[in-house]
């Protein structure tokens, strides 16, 4: 994963709330077995409308997406993050997000920052007044700055650190291999197993 410190791009205003992951990428595009090439699928239904924001210049090539409440709710499909990334969205700012979506974004190097509803409105207003106006997202300082105004954003310390360092989660966890093995050694034998239970145990169970 690449390290992120600051990101700059046009404010892409998506002035809607409750944008679920079925809207971000419809299920029909989930049949692929690859992890890239989803740019055409992003907001596929809404993009049939020429007036939709992502069909407009200067938003056709991505930027920093600014969204309403409850963005990324619903299905766990990580394809939603891949599609945003493939389209050229490098960060998403908004007041409230679906939790699985936010987790997926963090794993894939897509910065998701929580800003207030007031800051959301302010950034939308900047984009309305001056389409293409850039916003600079500073991960170190946790600020989003546009038209000379800085808005703080929230991101948890751990995700921020991983994004700043560009660290792979699995490699990090495997440093704890000894702890995982020790935990496994203590797990009780009644725990689930997809293998057949032993014949001896089965006999006991029948008695």
**Which CB sits closer to another protein, 58 or 99?**
99
Nearest Cα neighbor of 73 from 16, 2, 140, 116 is: 16
Q: Exposed/middle/buried for 77, CB within 10 Å: 0-12, 13-18, 19+?
A: buried
Q: Which of residues 32-91 bind another protein (CB under 8 A)?
A: 32-35, 45, 68-70, 73-79, 81
176 near another protein (CB under 8 A): yes
Candidate list 7, 8, 17, 116; residue touching another protein; CB under 8 A: 17
Helix (H/G/I), strand (E/B), else coil: 44: coil
Q: Which of residues 92-151 bind another protein (CB under 8 A)?
A: 96-100, 103-104, 107-108
Cβ proximity of 7 and 91 under 8 Å: yes
205 near another protein (CB under 8 A): yes
191 near another protein (CB under 8 A): yes
Mark the segment that binds another protein (CB under 8 A) among 55-63, 125-133, 145-153, 191-199. 191-199
In 25-97, where does DSSP find H-type helix?
79-87
The CA-atom distances, in angstroms, between 81 and each of 3, 12, 116, 204 are 17, 16, 22, 49
**Which CB sits closer to another protein, 90 or 104?**
104
Query: CB within 8 A of 2, min separation 6: which ones?
Result: 109, 166
Cis previous bond, 58, omega within 30: yes
Least distance to another protein, CB of residue 134, Å = 26
Chain residues that interact with another protein, rule: CB under 8 A: 16-18, 20, 22-23, 26-28, 30-35, 45, 68-70, 73-79, 81, 96-100, 103-104, 107-108, 156-158, 169-170, 172-174, 176, 179-180, 183-184, 187-195, 197, 200-207
């Amino acid at each position: 994963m690449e390290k992120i410190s600051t990101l700059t791009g046009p404010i892409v205003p998506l002035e809607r709330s409750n944008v679920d992951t079925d809207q971000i990428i419809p299920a029909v595009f989930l049949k692929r077995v690859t992890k890239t090439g989803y740019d055409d699928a992003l907001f596929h239904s809404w993009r049939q409308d020429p007036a939709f924001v992502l069909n407009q210049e200067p938003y056709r090539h991505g930027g920093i997406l600014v969204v309403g409440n409850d963005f990324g709710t619903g299905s766990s499909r990580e394809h939603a993050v891949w599609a945003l990334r493939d389209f050229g969205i490098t960060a998403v700012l908004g007041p409230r997000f679906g939790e699985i979506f936010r987790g997926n974004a963090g794993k894939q190097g897509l910065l998701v920052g929580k800003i207030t509803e007031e800051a959301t409105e302010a950034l939308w207003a900047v984009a309305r007044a001056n389409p293409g106006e850039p916003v600079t997202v500073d991960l170190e300082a946790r600020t989003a700055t546009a038209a000379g105004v800085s808005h703080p954003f929230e991101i948890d310390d751990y995700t921020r650190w991983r994004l700043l360092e560009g660290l792979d989660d699995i490699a990090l966890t495997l440093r704890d291999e000894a702890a995982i093995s020790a935990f496994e050694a203590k797990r009780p034998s009644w725990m689930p197993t997809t293998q057949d239970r032993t014949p001896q145990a089965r006999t006991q169970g029948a008695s």
